[in-house]
Amino acid sequence: GTPAESHVFEADVARLLHMMVHSVYSDKDVFLRELISNAADACEKLRYEAIAAPDLLAQDPSSRIVLSLDEDNRRLLVEDNGIGMSHDEMIEALGTIARSGTRAFMERIEANKAGEGAQLIGQFGVGFYSSFMVADRVDVVSRRAGSQQAWLWSSDGKGSYSIASADLAEAPARGTRIALHLMEDAKTYTSRWTLERIVKEQSGHVPVPITIIEKAGAEPTELTDGTALWTKPKSDIPPEQYTDFYRSVSGQYDDPALTVHFRAEGRHEYTALAFVPGSQPFDLFDPDRKGRMKLYVKRVFITDDAELLPRYLRFVRGLVDTADLPLNLSREMIQDSPTLAAIRKGVTGRIVKDLEKLAENDADAFLKLWDNFGSVIKEGIYEDFERRAQLMALARFRTTASGEGQRSLADYIRDAKEGQDTIYFLAGGNLEQLKASPQLEGFRARSIEVLLLTDPVDSFWVTNAPEFEGKSFKSITQGAADLAKFAKSEGDTAATGTASAEVQDFIAFAREKLAGEVSDVRSSDRLTESAACLVASEQGYDRQMERILQGAGR
């Protein structure tokens, strides 16, 4: 065939590989779930392409993943009969880092190699390149479905790889075979029992059957049957199976914080299985704010781009499977389909409801979830008008009364002062700074609770959320504080609200001196110890919003 071409890895891949090879992460088993998940993805992509081009499946319609062991040569093969890769797809997929977020993730690992970094490899998985944790050479032979050519990709993971045309007789009839030349200390991956244990632990619910061939010529044995977990009744599924499935669908390897599994019946029929991750996915703050919920039609994977959930639930991982849509669903149909709109609404409503239940039944678990995803969920307060009140009720805040804990708006209203029709807040970048703000003095003296808002998103929803249960929001850095009607705590009588003659004189003096710098100078109830503070005017934005907008305008 053609002579081998040699390619240098993209710089980021080289860095990632270096990390893999020198990984301090002890649980090397993770490479297998990565290869199996790629193999399963490839089978699902083929099933999808075959809807329009049934010939692609040819004589071999059922998907499978086969592990073959060769103890004598210390070799493990992972083979699938999925979509396969063309020459160019190989260069793109196995020579660059295509995944969004991987780069940011890598930086986190590098910043903290021994500690958190090592954990992270296990928690998120790093895809194909993790093979180099156990192998000192990896050969990938692939033949794209329908193609008359096969290609061999080969690398020792040290900076370059080669691609050559492969003998069709040696290649899979369709799909990809990955040969791992295992390192001496990784020879356990040629033991059937090791592989069986790992597959059952990590990949038991991959929706493609997995078989194993113990040695050349031996009969394949089935390890998993590829039954889709979501089609089983809830009562038949123990928690470990949900966790296993969560891990394979999300590419995260922690435990889910919330599992939502239900079947909708009636006008629209579909099954949804969704998870809130136990930690932040590393693409959570990607600017495109894309979700990752997968859409299946009659168990065929269609797309993870159908935006099955609103952006503020983009951290939810899982899938929806429905029989109400055609298999050959075009991009335009996905956008305009009323069925999908109904499914979106149903799934969103159910997830929000289950979040409410969790908040009610397990406050600690909910707080942990809120710490991870609250700043994203709050985007919904100004993006999802229909659920605004529900989302506001879910929100938890640090306040001047929360101590180490967090409080809800319902807590705030329950403990509000008699006659208090306003929810006061102070927004800023840093909790400690907020707590020390002189603006709080008058509120503290009167035991009036103030929300301390530190997420950038807070400034947006408070200005767009005119009220909660009839109470409006007001920044304490804006306009008159109007505290005179509330008595101070230590038996002080309420202030009269009018300043003495001396103060009046001083105000006149200050107005003159600061003319052009400030729009007004007033006496205020908001201070008890400090002499003066800056506030924004009643109209327009509060101080933090001004800062954010100034920052954005630069």
Name the site residues for ligand ADP (rule: CB under 6 A).
34, 38-39, 42, 80, 82-85, 93-94, 98-99, 127-128, 176
Report how far apart, in Å, the C-alpha atoms of 367 and of each of 334, 356, 423 are: 35, 12, 22
Residue with Cβ nearer ligand ADP (80 or 525): 80
Residue with Cβ nearer Mg ion (248 or 524): 248
Those residues whose C-beta lies under 8 Å from the C-beta of residue 500, and which sit 6 or more positions away, are: none
Q: Which does 313 bind (CB under 5 to 8 A by kind): ligand ADP, Mg ion, none?
A: none
Shortest distance in whole angstroms from residue 212 CB to ligand ADP: 17
Q: Which does 51 bind (CB under 5 to 8 A by kind): Mg ion, ligand ADP, none?
A: none
Do strands 317-322 and 270-276 pair parallel, antiparallel, or not at all (unpaired)?
Answer: antiparallel
Shortest distance in whole angstroms from residue 275 CB to ligand ADP: 18
Q: Which does 380 bind (CB under 5 to 8 A by kind): Mg ion, ligand ADP, none?
A: none
Q: Which does 77 bind (CB under 5 to 8 A by kind): ligand ADP, Mg ion, none?
A: none
In the 8-state DSSP scheme, what is residue 73? T
In the 8-state DSSP scheme, what is residue 429? S
| Interface contacts to Mg ion, rule CB under 5 A | 38, 127
Residue with Cβ nearer Mg ion (127 or 277): 127
Residue 82 exposure: Cα atoms within 13 Å on the Cβ side: 28
Residue with Cβ nearer ligand ADP (62 or 504): 62
Which residue, chain included where needed, has tokens 């791992």?
180
433 alpha carbon, distance to own chain's centre? 29
In the 8-state DSSP scheme, what is residue 397? B
Residue closest to ligand ADP when measured from CB atoms: 127
Q: Which does 42 bind (CB under 5 to 8 A by kind): Mg ion, ligand ADP, none?
A: ligand ADP
Shortest distance in whole angstroms from residue 198 CB to ligand ADP: 17
CA distance 235 to 13: 44
Are 387 and 352 in contact, with CB atoms under 8 Å apart? yes
The 3-state DSSP class for residue 29 equals coil
Q: Which does 93 bind (CB under 5 to 8 A by kind): ligand ADP, Mg ion, none?
A: ligand ADP
Residue with Cβ nearer ligand ADP (128 or 382): 128
Residue with Cβ nearer ligand ADP (82 or 207): 82
Shortest distance in whole angstroms from residue 265 CB to Mg ion: 34
Residue with Cβ nearer ligand ADP (80 or 321): 80
Shortest distance in whole angstroms from residue 177 CB to ligand ADP: 9
Report how far apart, in Å, the C-alpha atoms of 149 and of each of 60, 81, 169, 177, 297 are: 18, 15, 11, 14, 31
Q: Which does 278 bind (CB under 5 to 8 A by kind): ligand ADP, Mg ion, none?
A: none
CA distance 423 to 405: 19
CA distance 83 to 58: 12
CA distance 164 to 4: 4
Work out the number of other CB atoms within 10 angstroms of the CB of residue 332.
8
As a residue count, the chain comes to: 554
Residue with Cβ nearer Mg ion (47 or 446): 47
Q: Which does 82 bind (CB under 5 to 8 A by kind): Mg ion, ligand ADP, none?
A: ligand ADP
Those residues whose C-beta lies under 8 Å from the C-beta of residue 451, and which sit 6 or more positions away, are: 397, 398, 399, 412, 423, 424, 425, 426
Q: In what order do the strands lie in the sheet with 317-322?
A: 258-264, 270-276, 317-322, 294-297, 300-303
Shortest distance in whole angstroms from residue 240 CB to Mg ion: 22
Q: Which does 20 bind (CB under 5 to 8 A by kind): Mg ion, ligand ADP, none?
A: none
Shortest distance in whole angstroms from residue 439 CB to Mg ion: 50
Q: Which does 4 bind (CB under 5 to 8 A by kind): Mg ion, ligand ADP, none?
A: none
Residue with Cβ nearer Mg ion (42 or 427): 42
Residue with Cβ nearer Mg ion (250 or 439): 250
Residue with Cβ nearer Mg ion (117 or 125): 125
CA distance 207 to 378: 34
Shortest distance in whole angstroms from residue 11 CB to ligand ADP: 16
Are 475 and 415 in contact, with CB atoms under 8 Å apart? no
CA distance 42 to 48: 10
DSSP character string of 312-338: GGTT-EEEEEESSS-SS--HHHHHH-H
